[in-house]
Structure 1
């Protein structure tokens, strides 16, 4: 990790009329660090993720990102074209439903290759070779490179979405319930794969999950949300093994009783 954060969030709030999406949230994230945002449905975790990733403008607060030249930039003072370029190159976004993050009517290889073209790669041979390498890394057989994602299982689609996001070696990746809707055995394989790739590439990751087991396996730090506010934050093992706030204690104990 460097001595400067990659991402700084200050006082971010989002209101929908009188309803609170999230309120006065602050955080810092460093390269090589995984932050899990956890809470029940309606806690505000997905709203916060969408505000941080510029998918949803906050009502108040700032989100700043350290560019590759070392400059901290306020994301909401950037032009739309600049933000879109960041999202295609330096960032990744892994959706809960992989169909939201893939082009279902083009081949698996083309899904990976499109991201490479966004960073300037034009040589077909190089694009295909890199796509083959990444399909191998996410455990998709090379005989499936010309198949469309609509012919893949849910777990394969999610692995392809991960390959599509990571092929440009982004510095920051957002994940929204990346194991949601998958069978337990498929979840376990996917989590092992994700943990290995994140460690190998030294990414910064913000992962939203309601599953504390996912948070424990993937994250260094954890942020617990309730009713749009952060109620507890700290090192993942500390928060899950010795929760200080009653709500966190309830969350942890309810998991243990299942």
Structure 2
């Protein structure tokens, strides 16, 4: 059954997380729609990574609800699911692209095995089919097929990040979380990776939530943007509108500081 594109894929209501007396994030609410890319931006310490970890079930919030529309069309609170259900969701219907690819890859097994593991999580068992799909996906992220048996530690940083993307997308997830996906890469490598991400997201009709401190990345890849400061959302709207006509003084400061560089 296909999900109704007129219904949100993810509904977030009043989500908050504290670390003792310090606010990680507070009272965050939004809907994410099928095929939409949302960028969460802000300075270091703004709460964007805490929010991403709460949304992706890596960190349990103290308040609020996060509801996901399953492939069957049912809206489920992810924190009311059994732990096994959440783990299965993360291995199949969701993806998570880490800033440091080593956190999202198994560095001591081959590139092909890294991609193939996700296929096995959804029930693939035929070695030839798994290897064939792995090689196909390596090609889609611009990694030569003759590198399929190489380990990620033999790859450059940009290649590792592209391999991590292939590992996440091979199961055709509907929602992908990305934490500073171009962070730590050279500018030329960043540009190539962003072009690849943008084309794959559009081709596959993915929804994505991308955390970044780089407004240029947000402009290139996202439809909508949330600006965070001190754990709270201070501005939220279409990406071009937020960047071209920022309303909140903090957003104006962020945008003007980029323009002055």
TM range (shorter): over 0.9
Q: CA RMSD in A?
A: 0.6
In structure 1, the partner of 2:221 is 218
Q: CA deviation at 1:95?
A: 0.1
Tell me the equivalent position of 1:88.
91
1:197 equivalenced with 2:200 (yes/no): yes
Q: 2-side partners of 1:186 and 1:68: how far apart?
A: 35
Query: Which secondary structure does the structure 1 equivalent of 2:123 belong to?
Result: coil
1:65 alignment counterpart: 68
Mapping for residues 165-176 of structure 1, pairs under 5 Å = 165-176=168-179
Q: Deviations over 1:120-160 (max 9, x none)?
A: 00011110110010000000011100000000000000000
Match among 145, 167, 186 for residue 183 of structure 1: 186
**What's 1:150 paired with?**
153
Match of 1:125 among 119, 125, 128: 128
Q: Deviations over 1:148-202 (max 9, x none)?
A: 0000000000000000000000000000000000000000000000000000000
Aligned residue in 1 for 2:12: 9
Q: Runs of 4+ in structure 1 displaced over 3 angstroms?
A: none
Aligned residue number for residue 160 of structure 1? 163
Structure 2, unpaired ranges of 5+: none
- Cα distance in 2 for partners of 1:69, 1:153 equals 40
Query: What is aligned with 2:23?
Result: 20
Query: What is the deviation of 1:234?
Result: 0.3
Q: Which residue of 44, 48, 51 maps to 1:48? A: 51
Long gaps (5+) in structure 1: none
TM-score by length of 2: 0.98
Alpha-carbon distance in 2 for matches of 1:92, 1:51: 14
1:103, distance to aligned residue in structure 2 (A): 0.3
Q: CA deviation at 1:43?
A: 0.2
Deviations 1:85-140 (A, max 9, x none): 00000000000000000000000000000000000000111101100100000000
- d(CA) in 1 for partners of 2:252 and 2:127? 53
**Per-residue deviation, 1:31:** 1.0
| Aligned equivalents of 1:138, 1:59: Cα separation in 2 | 38
User: Which residue of structure 1 lines up, in the alignment, with residue 143 of structure 2?
Assistant: 140
d(CA) in 1 for partners of 2:226 and 2:245?
A: 14
